[in-house]
A and B are shown apart, each in its own frame.
Chain A
């Protein structure tokens, strides 16, 4: 008699021409004992257990790249919104969940989490843009299952000039301080988005990826 195989995760990273794909793939591969693949084929999204949307560059370019993939946005709607599969957006991939992006003109986003993506404008001229480097991640809601194994105040690597400003502040799971509180992590139902780069955040990032892959999407 053959034992049932252990339930394995099947993480799929969406390839829409974003430059940092390899780093994201490597970091997930290293953190995961399950299957990790990169795809631009919408059919793979249906077969996945976890969906990851990376992103570097501008909001407008990234949205354009995503729209250009046949069937991907429709399948994402099905899998993430209807079927409630755990979803992780990283950096611009997180920002794309917003209703509207204001980088390089005004662009409609996926509209999954109501809000807009706006330029960071620190009052202190000594605060440089991009906000680049290691900054602390302060949790707003310790109760979210993703934070189970972390302490508020851990460092993560950020590099961005725009931030997601959600309409409903309750979706902000963590902030980082840069002249003001900047959105570091958003979450709603089975969706989570990080402004920081878990794939570049050494052991904190590896731990975060592991937690995401163990998450079933329930809050």
Chain B
């Protein structure tokens, strides 16, 4: 049977990992490629790079990171952050990324998702959604949760499926960084109502949160950055915990 994916995420700024300070045995803790290799060896099911480089002068650094990573890691790699055009997507795929996660650019121009899915195939187009609860609804936000869009999260998710997205990466901005667990309500709402896989993100502080994301949130995969970065838990510990809790994961 298909296994739930555990996806560590590395935040990359100007070609260097931010937050990745507590890895042991690293020659260079800031090198994303070295950290990616550790995750690969640890049995991560996929890897995600979130490029948070602000300056447009340094945008090209991510291509080099991807190129060097895929020379050594033989696992699926998703890249998100700052993707604006078909040409950005093409460059990342040619560098060796398997999937790209589009966020703000999809909101500015939903047609980009449609065009990209037709051109490169739905399997490599992930739509990344940052959501926040507002009264009783969940809304789409941009700019790290600061900018409201007025768009209903579920409506948007359904529209993106129609436009050809192959996967949804859902981050709760209310939970992100809190270590209180995923927002299970919106995760389940979207997972139960779209035909494509949903990856839950934002808020993991304990391994039980992964289990909840799958069992209660119905996510097909779980993504986390900090708990793995800071060495709180290893990928293997996460998998063993989930397995013991009855979530089917890959332990080879």
Q: Chain A: residues with CB nearer than 8 A to chain B?
A: 19-20, 22-23, 26-27, 30, 56-58, 61, 125-136, 154-155, 157-161, 177-178, 197, 199-206
Contact = CB atoms under 8 A, between A and B. Distances in A.
Contact of B123 (A126, A160, A202, A203): A160
Contacts of A128: 194-198, 220
Given A23-B96, A26-B71, A133 B5 contact: yes
Contacts of B71: 26, 30
A22 B122 CA distance: 19
Interface in B90-115: 93-96, 98
B75 A202 contact: yes
Contact of B98 (A20, A27, A154): A20
Interface in B117-152: 120-124
A205 B138 CA distance: 41
Given A22-B95, A155-B250, A57 B220 contact: no
A206 B74 contact: yes
Q: Interface residues of B: mostly helix, strand, loop or mixed?
A: loop
A19 B93 CA distance: 6
Nearest to A22: B96
What are the 10 closest A-B residue pairs judged by CB atoms, nearest first? A57-B121, A134-B250, A22-B96, A128-B197, A19-B93, A155-B250, A135-B2, A134-B3, A159-B123, A133-B5
B121 A56 contact: yes
Contacts of A135: 1-3
Given A56-B121, A161-B123, A131 B74 contact: no
Interface residues of B, number: 37
A134 B221 CA distance: 11
B252 A204 contact: yes
A133 B220 contact: yes
A201 B74 contact: yes
8 contacts: A22-B70, A130-B123, A131-B2, A133-B45, A133-B197, A135-B2, A154-B252, A203-B252
A208 B76 CA distance: 17
B168 to A, nearest CB: 10
B213 interface: no
B96 A157 contact: no
Given A19-B124, A128-B197, A133 B166 contact: no
Nearest to B193: A125
Contact of A199 (B74, B94, B194): B74
B218 interface: yes
Contacts of A134: 2-3, 5, 45, 250
Contacts of B197: 128, 130, 132-133
Contacts of A136: 1
Most buried by B among A131, A159, A161: A159
Contact of B70 (A23, A127, A130, A161): A23
B183 interface: no
B167 interface: yes
A135 B2 CA distance: 4
B40 interface: yes
A158 B95 CA distance: 20
A154 B195 CA distance: 27
A197 to B, nearest CB: 8
B225 to A, nearest CB: 20
Nearest to A131: B2
Nearest to A157: B76
